[in-house]
């Protein structure tokens, strides 16, 4: 049976699966990121690794791990922490956790959108601070979403669910941009395919759902922010570097756009200077997938991929290597 390194404290269900399959599990017991030096040391001799999106898995990691390593399964759907070319060169398999976090992240994108539109965090702070002195006609005016247009950048599973919820639940109109058109989705939701610029100009809410790739880094920069409506809300539950965070802070300060709801940041866990002070930014600490159900399933799916590979089977959640 194999030696498995789990690089962070994760829900127990996945660790139990690994143990039940007879594997010897080495678990980093803390809920903090494993320091790089510790990570490389602990990887030595592992047959499988269950990694976190905060662990860089590259040639140096593979050198440290040694010859036995067959699979690294990421406890995340995103895998921009994987150097896929290095996986390919070394013939090591990569897995992720697709599908199971779609609803949790779509709900979170929606929560951020509602929080921005209805100014919920501001209103909460105001009320707790004892500033509420009685009903006022123009106190904390927000904006309605019903009938407005949502623009989805990246029509993967999560982007599609955000659009479906917006159309069905909030009677919103949807626009989307992706590498390819999805005509079935257009028929189902009435969504309109558009270029990035058309979408930014026409949307009341822009929700980002692209993976982080060289082509999507700073997809939303100062120039793109200038295309958006002054009343628009930007939501990012994808990856921080998709947005030029300094340019976003400037746009929010100057009220070039109305608000932003962010779950991810360009240089996590740091925030761009000034961001935390802005009343029109709603910020969550990369918790879009953080539901008990989803995080439990993520630990099981990542663990099962390792169990399958070490048993000579092909798991359904392998990441295609370039």
Q: Rounded to the nearest whole angstrom, what is the least distance from the CB of residue 97 to ligand DGY in the complex?
A: 6
**What is residue 27's DSSP assignment?**
E
Choice between 57 and 257, CB closer to ligand DGY? 57
Nearer to ligand DGY by C-beta: 111 or 228?
111
Active site residue 239: yes
Cα distance between residue 54 and residue 74, in whole Å: 10
Q: Assign 38 to helix, strand or coil.
A: helix
Examine residue 281 and tell whether it contacts ligand DGY (CB under 6 A): no
Closest CB to ligand DGY among residues 101, 106: 101
Nearer to ligand DGY, 109 or 152 (CB): 109
| Under 8 Å between Cβ of 167 and 190 | yes
If one asks whether residue 225 binds ligand DGY (CB under 6 A), the answer comes out as no
Phi, psi of 243 (to 5 degrees): -115, 135
Decide if 286 is catalytic.
yes
Torsion of the alpha carbons at 168, 235, 253 and 138, rounded to the nearest 10: 30
Catalytic residue among 122, 186, 188, 268: 268
DSSP 8-state secondary structure symbol assigned to residue 179: S
Asked if 76 touches ligand DGY (CB under 6 A), the answer is: yes
Sheet of strand 24-27, all strands in order from the earlier edge strand to the far edge: 24-27, 3-6, 48-51, 71-74, 93-95
CB of 307 to ligand DGY, least distance (A): 20
CB of 239 vs ligand DGY, minimal distance in Å: 7
Which of these is catalytic: 108, 165, 239, 295? 239
Is-contact 305 95, C-beta < 8 A? yes
Where does this chain touch ligand DGY (CB under 6 A) — which range of 70-78, 119-127, 136-144, 220-228? Answer: 70-78
The H helix count followed by the E strand count for the chain is 12, 12
Q: Establish if 101 lies at the interface with ligand DGY (CB under 6 A).
A: yes
For residue 49, count other CB atoms closer than 10 A to its CB.
27
Q: Are 172 and 149 in contact (CB under 8 A)?
A: yes
Candidate list 21, 46, 77, 242; residue touching ligand DGY; CB under 6 A: 77
For residue 180, give both structure tokens. 């390819």
Say whether 268 is catalytic.
yes
Q: Which is nearer to ligand DGY, 76 or 243 (CB)?
A: 76
Tell whether residue 57 is a contact of ligand DGY (CB under 6 A).
no
Interface residues for ligand DGY in 25-54 (CB under 6 A)?
A: 53
Q: Do the Cβ atoms of 205 and 145 come closer than 8 Å?
A: yes
Q: Which stretch binds ligand DGY (CB under 6 A): 18-26, 72-80, 181-189, 201-209?
A: 72-80
* 305 lies in the binding site for ligand DGY (CB under 6 A): no
Binding segment (CB under 6 A) for ligand DGY, from list 43-51, 75-83, 169-177, 196-204: 75-83
Smaller CB separation from ligand DGY, 77 or 306: 77
Contacts of residue 124, Cβ cutoff 8 Å, sequence gap at least 6: none
Round to whole Å and give the CA distance between 116 and 279: 10
CB 247 within 8 A of CB 221: yes
Report how far residue 80's alpha carbon sits from residue 213's, in angstroms, rounded to the nearest whole number.
8
- In whole angstroms, how close is the CB of 13 to ligand DGY at the nearest point? 16
What are the residues binding ligand DGY (CB under 6 A)? 53, 76-78, 101, 289
- By annotation, the residues acting in catalysis are 239, 268, 286
């Amino acid at each position: 049976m194999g030696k498995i390194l789990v690089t962070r404290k994760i829900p127990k269900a996945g660790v139990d699966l690994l143990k039940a399959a007879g594997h010897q599990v080495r678990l980093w017991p803390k809920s903090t990121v494993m320091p790089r030096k510790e990570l490389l040391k602990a990887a030595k001799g592992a047959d499988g690794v269950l990694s976190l999106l905060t662990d860089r898995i590259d040639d140096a990691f593979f050198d440290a791990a040694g010859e036995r390593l067959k699979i690294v399964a990421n406890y995340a759907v995103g895998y921009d922490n994987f150097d896929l070319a290095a996986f390919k060169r070394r013939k090591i398999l990569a897995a992720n956790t697709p599908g199971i976090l779609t609803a949790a992240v779509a709900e979170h994108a929606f929560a951020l959108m509602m929080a921005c539109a209805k100014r919920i965090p501001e209103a909460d702070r105001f009320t707790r601070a004892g500033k509420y002195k009685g009903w006022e006609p123009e106190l904390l005016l927000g904006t309605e979403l019903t009938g407005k247009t949502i623009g989805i950048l990246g029509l993967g599973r999560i982007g599609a669910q955000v659009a479906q919820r917006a159309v069905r639940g909030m009677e919103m109109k949807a626009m989307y941009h992706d590498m390819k058109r999805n005509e079935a989705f257009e028929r189902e939701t009435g969504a309109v395919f558009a270029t990035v610029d058309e979408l930014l100009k026409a949307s009341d809410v822009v929700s980002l759902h692209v993976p982080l790739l060289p082509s999507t880094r700073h997809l939303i920069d100062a120039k793109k922010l200038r295309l958006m409506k002054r009343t628009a809300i930007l939501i990012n539950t994808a990856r921080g570097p998709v947005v030029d965070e300094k340019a976003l802070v400037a746009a929010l300060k100057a009220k070039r756009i109305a608000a932003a709801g962010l779950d991810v940041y360009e240089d996590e866990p740091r925030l761009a200077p000034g961001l935390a002070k802005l009343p029109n930014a709603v910020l969550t600490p990369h918790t879009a997938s953080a539901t008990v159900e989803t995080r439990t399933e993520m630990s099981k799916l990542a663990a099962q991929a390792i169990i399958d590979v070490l048993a000579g089977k092909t798991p359904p959640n392998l990441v295609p290597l370039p």
